[in-house]
Chains A and B, each alone.
Chain A
Amino acid sequence: MTTEQINKETGEKKKRKELKALGFIIVVLFPVLSVFAIGGYGLIIWLIQAFGGVIPH
């Protein structure tokens, strides 16, 4: 194999990797993170209220 062929091979692999990573972020990571972030925020406010604190409107 020539160096060109090797480069092309790893290049194909790399591209697949990048697409996979992007897909993972879109489908799994960011949805999960955003749900946790907003849910956590709500939970914190709820807990503060539950333990007698008053949140300004």
Chain B
Amino acid sequence: MKWFKNLWQTLNTPAKYLTLGSISLTAFIMGVMFWGGFNTALEATNTEEFCIGCHSMESKPYQELQKTVHWSNHSGVRATCPDCHVPHSWGRKIARKMEASSDVWGWVFNTVNTSEKFEDKRLEMASREWARFERDDSLACKNCHNYDSMKWDTMSKLAQKQMKRAAEKDQSCVDCHKGIAHILPDMGTARAPQLIAEVGTGPSKFTNEQYYFSALTKPLFFSAKGDVEAGTLNVATKVKILESKENRVKVSISGWRKQIGAGRVIYYDFGINMLTAQLSKEAAKTEGVINGFEEKEDEMTGLKWQRVETTLWTDAEYLITEQQPLWDYARTTFRSSCSVCHTQPDEAHFDANTWPGMFQGMIAFVNMDQDTQALVQKYLQQHSSTFVKKEH
């Protein structure tokens, strides 16, 4: 402390022995050294040699790049790592450098030091890069590629059509062009990988009597052990956990069903065609699986509905604690997918029973996996005019 006080005293009084000349000269030299040093460091960490200094960067992404057009082509221009992965504007560049501290963490703790570990994390890492490209409108690409400089005549008819549409909106390149410089993550076997990357796979332990939401369409089973499926639980559905046993949980699903046939489809609420679960015929007929309560008649259709509660087992995964992340993902998907061709309608423009027809009529035009489709449809229904009162 005394040392600090002494120092402060010296710094706080005019110098008696150091001359003004020596002090200002020191300041000048320091200024030059700091400025220069900073830029040198920034440049040095922005080279390919620096990036592939790490084994995991050299062995995977760098090798993959060498097989693509961004490595060698007839014009002899090539992209280096920082060209695409570091923003070029100053502020964002510094932010990216700070963000890269997590890469240092990964290097210290060997998170991707083997091929297996890298592949396991590939989707997560790729999703992060895609998110950045989307946020920046693929600014990194557009430093070289320019919509205005594209020669439309040399493109195929289809490419012209797609590209011109993209140019009009100044669309982010990576919306369509994924996996062009590195191998695409394996998304064939995993279900709705981007959705799961966003919302997670859910907790590993469940609290009884608590509510959870399905992150995917999940199979339902009769018992904690058996393989006999009793039906499917729709995505983004609220369930109550009753019991946990090893890899399964017993869930209670409540909703309404129509009194026709075996009544094996369970809907969200009376008179609303929003899927909650679909049971097999066998399950619907099995005593004790579906418990019926009061009945009501829908005046519009003349159908009788019955409130039901179902108790079945499902795998203890993809059950998450909050519903909002699912809606957030669905909203983004809905907005970006539909706006490719037209202005998407407001969610509250249709009611919950009109949306499925509307949505199914359009779905053939976009590339959406089954789980995402089911989720977006449910999102639209849940945010339709049936639930959200909005003037229009």
Contact = CB atoms under 8 A, between A and B. Distances in A.
Interface of A: 11, 14-15, 17-22, 24-26, 30-31, 34, 38-39, 41-43, 45-46, 49, 54-55, 57
Q: A interface, by DSSP: helix, strand, loop or mixed?
A: helix
Nearest to A45: B95
Contacts of B30: 26, 30
A21 B92 contact: no
13 contacts: A11-B16, A14-B16, A15-B18, A18-B10, A18-B16, A19-B18, A20-B7, A24-B7, A25-B11, A42-B97, A43-B95, A45-B91, A55-B91
Query: Size class of B's contact patch?
Result: 20 to 34
Given A17-B6, A18-B17, A18-B18, A49 B98 contact: no
Nearest to B98: A42
B94 A34 contact: no
Contacts of A20: 7, 10
Contacts of A19: 18
Nearest to A12: B17
Nearest to B11: A21
Contacts of B365: none
Give the interface centre of B26, B89, B91 by most chain A CB atoms within 10 Å: B91
Given A17-B10, A30-B30, 9 more contacts: A11-B17, A20-B10, A22-B26, A26-B30, A30-B34, A34-B38, A45-B91, A46-B96, A55-B91
B139 interface: yes
B94 A22 contact: no
Given A11-B17, A41-B94, A26 B99 contact: no
Interface in B87-120: 89, 91-92, 94-99
B332 to A, nearest CB: 11
B94 to A, nearest CB: 4
Contacts of A31: 34
Contacts of B97: 42
A49 B34 contact: no
B6 A38 contact: no
A22 B135 contact: no
A18 B23 CA distance: 11
A28 to B, nearest CB: 11
Nearest to B99: A46
A49 B26 CA distance: 38
Contact of A49 (B17, B18, B135, B139): B135
A14 B17 contact: yes
B19 to A, nearest CB: 11
Contacts of A18: 10, 15-18
A26 B34 CA distance: 10
B38 A38 contact: yes
A21 to B, nearest CB: 4
A12 B302 CA distance: 105
A2 B94 CA distance: 60
Contact of A42 (B11, B95, B135): B95
A21 B352 CA distance: 73
